[in-house]
Amino acid sequence: MNGKTIRLGGYPVPLETDAKGHSTLFFIVPYPGACIHVPPPPPNQLVLVRYPKGLKLDDIYTPLWVEGTLK
């Protein structure tokens, strides 16, 4: 699947932010609230998203769509 372009929906789990507080690195997971305080989804349900432009995440309980190329 390397190099395949996909569109994926899920819930964000922010990992890194830029100076403006926008998320530049985050996981997409299948259910809301998946963080260090609850059991994580299995590894085959985690997708790491790198978005250097940064994305303002107002609510991690609101699903979003991402589109990009798998690596």
The conformation of residue 11, written as its DSSP 8-state character, comes to E
pLDDT bin (cut points 50, 70, 90) of residue 14 is very high
The residue among 28, 15, 25, 27 whose CA lies nearest residue 53 is: 25
Q: What pLDDT score does 32 carry? A: 87
Q: pLDDT of 26-64, one tens digit each?
A: 999 998 877 667 788 899 999 999 999 999 999 999 999
pLDDT bin (cut points 50, 70, 90) of residue 19 is very high
Q: Is the CATH number 3.90.180.10 carried by domain 5-69?
A: no
The residue among 70, 71, 32 whose CA lies nearest residue 14 is: 32
66 in Cβ contact with 49 (< 8 Å): yes
Look at the pTM and tell me if it is higher than 0.85: yes
Any idea where the domains of the chain sit in the sequence?
5-69
11 in Cβ contact with 29 (< 8 Å): yes
